[in-house]
């Protein structure tokens, strides 16, 4: 940063930090959502930078679907110590046990929908008035129109027609009791920006992002990891493959890619050359053309 030439990463970093500070200034009880994925890792890293030498003035929260990769949870706990943040965990399994939401049945049961219920319940429980999320506009069509400050009504719902115009960098975080805001500081980052930033800052990542040997099954064009939450269906065969993950979500829906990328440099080179979007491996978005839009309306990120 001693060189004041402004490249893309510097501009995006300054913008994200501005947005994170706005949240700290405008809200009484903000929380930052943490999934263990690279985007939320970058976001929490930016939060450290935003307030240094002070501490991050809000807690982190992980909505645990119970379908996590074991590596994600190990990483999560270590990372929280490193960024010196308080972590709150709320469990989808608990919401199911309490009858707040029913488990999906059938092939590829996903807890993506159930996760929304747990999230909204947790926001109410802690009276959080703002939740910071690591979503990016380039991820998916429905996200392309998302605001930095995304307004949610008392039911946590996103109404695309009732969003506030955002002009310049003037973010309107005012709301009535019960309403809340989702804020996305890295809205303007692309997947490649995130990786280049991780590379530049040398941020430690979960091992899942790097190449490793894993038991997998090929299903509907995706490569899914086999494990406790993902068992072989009739007629499928297990394989041992050299893979890594481009995104990390639930084991049930996150597809792996065959890759030999061992280092951050390898990953950046691979991403720069790739011809498939990162959500191309996510079966949850493929369910219908407007899948993401529908989930967002119900309160998903």
Partner 1 sequence: MSTSEDVPMTTLVHERDLLRFTTAGSVDDGKSTLIGRMLFDSKQIFQDQLEQLEMVSRLRGEENVNLALLTDGLRAEREQGITIDVAYRYFSTAKRKFIIADTPGHEQYTRNMVTGASLADLAIILIDARHGVLTQSRRHGIIASLLAIPHVVVCINKMDLVDYSKARFDEIAATYRDFAKKLNIHDITFIPVSALLGDNVVNRSEKTSWYQGPPLLQFLEDVTISADRNLVDFRFPVQYVVRPHQDFRGFSGQVASGTVRVGDEVIALPGMQRSTIKSITFYKDTLPQAEEGQSVILSLDHEIDISRGDMIVRRHNIPEVENEFEATICWMDERHELLPSVKYILRHTTQTTQAVVDEIVYRLDVNTLHRSPAESLKLNEIGRLKITAARPIFFDPYDRNRATGGFVLIDPNDYRTVGAGMIRHSSRSTINELKRDARAQSLQALPSAADIQWTPGFVALTDRVVRQRHQPLCVWLYGGEPVTCHAIASILEKQLFDSGVQVVRLTDENTRSGLNADLRDNVPDIQEADRRHMHLARLLTDLGHVVICGFHGGVSASLSQRFMPNRLLVVSLDGGAAIAGVVVMDTTATDTAVCASTLQKLVADRIF
**Conformational region of residue 240, where left means phi above 0, alpha means psi within -120 to 50, and beta covers everything else:** beta
96 lines the binding site for partner 1 (CB under 8 A): no
Distance (Å, rounded) from C-alpha 70 to C-alpha 89? 15
CB of 159 to partner 1, least distance (A): 11
List binders of partner 1 among 5-34 (CB under 8 A).
5-15, 17-18, 21-22, 24-25
CB of 225 to partner 1, least distance (A): 16
Residue span 183-202 as binding mask against partner 1, x where in contact by CB under 8 A, dash where not: ----xx-x-xx--x---x--
Distance (Å, rounded) from C-alpha 173 to C-alpha 92? 28
172 lines the binding site for partner 1 (CB under 8 A): yes
Q: Which residues contact 179 (CB under 8 A, 6 or more apart)?
A: 151, 152, 153, 154
**Residue 206: closest CA among 91, 38, 65:** 38
Max distance between CA atoms of the chain, in angstroms, equals: 59
Q: Are 60 and 31 in contact (CB under 8 A)?
A: yes
164 lines the binding site for partner 1 (CB under 8 A): yes
Element (H, E) at 94: helix 92-97
59 lines the binding site for partner 1 (CB under 8 A): no
List binders of partner 1 among 222-251 (CB under 8 A).
none
Q: Are 206 and 249 in contact (CB under 8 A)?
A: no
Residue span 264-283 as binding mask against partner 1, x where in contact by CB under 8 A, dash where not: ----xxx-xxxxxx--x---
2 lines the binding site for partner 1 (CB under 8 A): yes
84 lines the binding site for partner 1 (CB under 8 A): no
48 lines the binding site for partner 1 (CB under 8 A): yes
Candidates 36-44, 76-84, 115-123, 167-175; binding stretch for partner 1 (CB under 8 A)? 167-175
Applying CB under 8 A, which of residues 175, 182, 214, 295 lies at the interface with partner 1? 175
Sign of the C-alpha dihedral computed for residues 232, 237, 238 and 244 taken in this order: negative
The tokens for 242 are 């050299």
204 lines the binding site for partner 1 (CB under 8 A): no
List binders of partner 1 among 127-146 (CB under 8 A).
137-138, 141-142, 144-145
């Amino acid at each position: 940063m001693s060189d004041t030439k402004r490249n893309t990463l510097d501009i995006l970093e300054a913008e994200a930090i501005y947005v994170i500070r706005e949240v700290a200034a405008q809200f009484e009880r903000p929380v930052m959502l943490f999934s263990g994925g690279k985007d939320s890792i970058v976001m929490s890293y930016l939060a450290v930078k935003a307030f240094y030498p002070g501490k991050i003035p809000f807690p982190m929260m992980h909505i645990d679907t119970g379908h996590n990769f074991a590596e994600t949870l190990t990483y999560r706990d270590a990372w929280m110590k490193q960024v010196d943040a308080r972590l709150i965990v709320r469990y989808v399994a608990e919401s199911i046990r309490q009858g707040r939401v029913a488990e999906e049945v059938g092939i590829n049961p996903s807890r993506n929908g159930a996760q929304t219920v747990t999230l909204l319940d947790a926001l109410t429980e802690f009276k959080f008035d703002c939740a910071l999320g690591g979503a990016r506009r380039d991820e998916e069509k429905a996200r392309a129109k998302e605001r930095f400050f995304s307004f949610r009504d008392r039911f946590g719902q996103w109404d695309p027609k009732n969003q506030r115009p955002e002009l310049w960098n003037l973010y309107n975080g005012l709301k009535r009791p019960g309403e809340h805001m989702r804020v996305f500081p890295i809205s303007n980052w692309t997947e490649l920006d995130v990786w280049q930033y991780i590379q530049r800052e040398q941020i430690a990542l979960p091992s899942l992002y790097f190449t490793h040997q894993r038991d997998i099954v090929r299903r509907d064009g995706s490569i899914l990891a086999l494990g406790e939450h993902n068992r072989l269906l009739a007629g499928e065969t297990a394989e041992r493959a050299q893979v890594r993950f481009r995104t990390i979500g639930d084991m049930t829906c996150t597809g792996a890619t065959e890759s030999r990328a061992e280092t951050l440099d390898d990953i950046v080179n691979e991403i720069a050359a790739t011809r498939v979007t990162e959500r191309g491996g996510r079966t949850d978005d493929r369910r219908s053309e407007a899948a993401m839009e529908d989930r967002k309306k119900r309160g998903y990120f």
